[in-house]
Amino acid sequence: MKKHHYLFFLAACIAASCSSKKDAGFTAKIDNTLKASANQYEYLGTRNPDGRFPKSYHVKNDSLETSDSGWWCSGFYPGTLLYLNEANANQALKKLADKSLADLKKEQFNKTTHDLGFMMYCSYGNAERLRPNADYKLVLMNSAKSLATRYNAVAKCIQSWDSAPWNHATKDEMPVIIDNMMNLELLFWASKHSGDKTFYDIAVNHANTTMKNHFRPDYSSYHEVVYDKNTGAVVRQITNQGAADASAWARGQAWGLYGYVVMYRETKDRKYLEQAQNIAGFILNHPNLPADKIPYWDFNAPGIPNALRDSSAAAIMASALIELGSYSDKELSKKYYADANTMLTSLMAPEYFAAPNTNGGFLLKHGVGNMPNKTEVDTPLSYGDYYFIEALMRYKQAGL
């Protein structure tokens, strides 16, 4: 999502350190990883069926798991292709991206999902940033309008899933998940593009409501808060994808961190900066965060230290920390950049970064999608790849 890389400049005092052999070597490693990733996504493109969007990969039968354009992950494949083409111009990747964008286009009118930020801003947002044109802008505006229809003015937040037994919500209730913070960037873009402050206000109200009701005193977050549609009252604070209602699901913590970094970027309201820094403090200072900074799938997962890691959560965290470092004081920035470096170093190592023409064409191994429902467990994930490449590009372009 996000992709305003010009925001991520550093002060001259930090830039001076970038001439060291260590930093030059790390930059070279990023360059090599980006080139290898481009080749890997060309390979993925040869395996992905027309009109489908890669989700994951099944090692046992060497098969891709794909979706149609309506799945929440559909924007990550074209978004990653666009990032990789930006890093190293590649006509094959551009062609794949353009085809995928065309297949995704109809989702601009999808009002049944809160994930239009993931779907349309990670894809068309990158496309519009790189090659501005009226068609891309229209798609993004329509997508923002569709997303805004899910806003509940009483609860002052955007409904995530539609009510259903599986998400613990009745017809008079509305579930809101922490992931929804990632969809607000689309609304900020729409407000700036159209001059309509309604989109901005919805994003701010949603972030404020989430900050009030999703977070515990230690700045960990619930995955899901269920509201009464008619009164806006909190009915339940629970989880759907974490280990327990009171646990800290790793990717949920990453979504919250990233989301409040975006909130500060777009509003310059320091309460969002402080929220992001507090979430980062919970993550980075947690006694269950391993030394290589790749978190367990839940910070309270059963079986630690033998619990599965989640490479996708680490990729999201790394990308957010790099941007957060550019807004923070010198001491915090140093910590954020160092921890992002450690995360990326780990993700670029063979334990997590796939060898050429393996892993179904995906980049990262060892992601965890939904452990409680036993889906996409210890496997590549399209969003893990997306935020991994975004983090590498942010790190390099920040001059770290």
Element (H, E) at 108: none
Q: Tell me, what DSSP letter sits at residue 302?
A: T
Alpha helix locations (H) across the chain?
Answer: 12-15, 21-47, 76-87, 91-104, 116, 126-130, 134-148, 184-194, 197-213, 250-267, 270-284, 311-327, 330-348, 382-397
Q: Pick the catalytic residue from 23, 68, 115, 269.
A: 115
Given a contact cutoff of 8 angstroms between Cβ atoms, the answer to whether 342 and 315 are in contact is: no
Residue 305, preceding peptide bond in cis (omega within 30° of 0): yes
Q: Pick the catalytic residue from 50, 62, 172, 179.
A: 179
* Cα dist from 366 to 33, 40, 90, 99, 239, whole Å: 18, 17, 28, 28, 22
Q: Is 179 a catalytic residue?
A: yes
Q: Is 115 a catalytic residue?
A: yes
**Interatomic CA distance for residues 260 and 268, integer angstroms:** 11
Neighbours of 335 (CB within 10 A): 17
**Interatomic CA distance for residues 88 and 230, integer angstroms:** 51
**Interatomic CA distance for residues 272 and 267, integer angstroms:** 9
- The amino acid at residue 79 is G
Which residues, 6+ apart, have CB-to-CB distance to 328 below 8 Å?
Answer: 273, 277, 336
DSSP letters spanning 357-390: T-GGG-SB--EEEETTTTEEEEE--HHHHHHHHH
Q: Tell me, what DSSP letter sits at residue 211?
A: H
Q: Tell me, what DSSP letter sits at residue 161?
A: S
| Closest residue by Cα to residue 86 from 139, 128, 56, 24 | 128
Catalytic residue positions?
115, 179
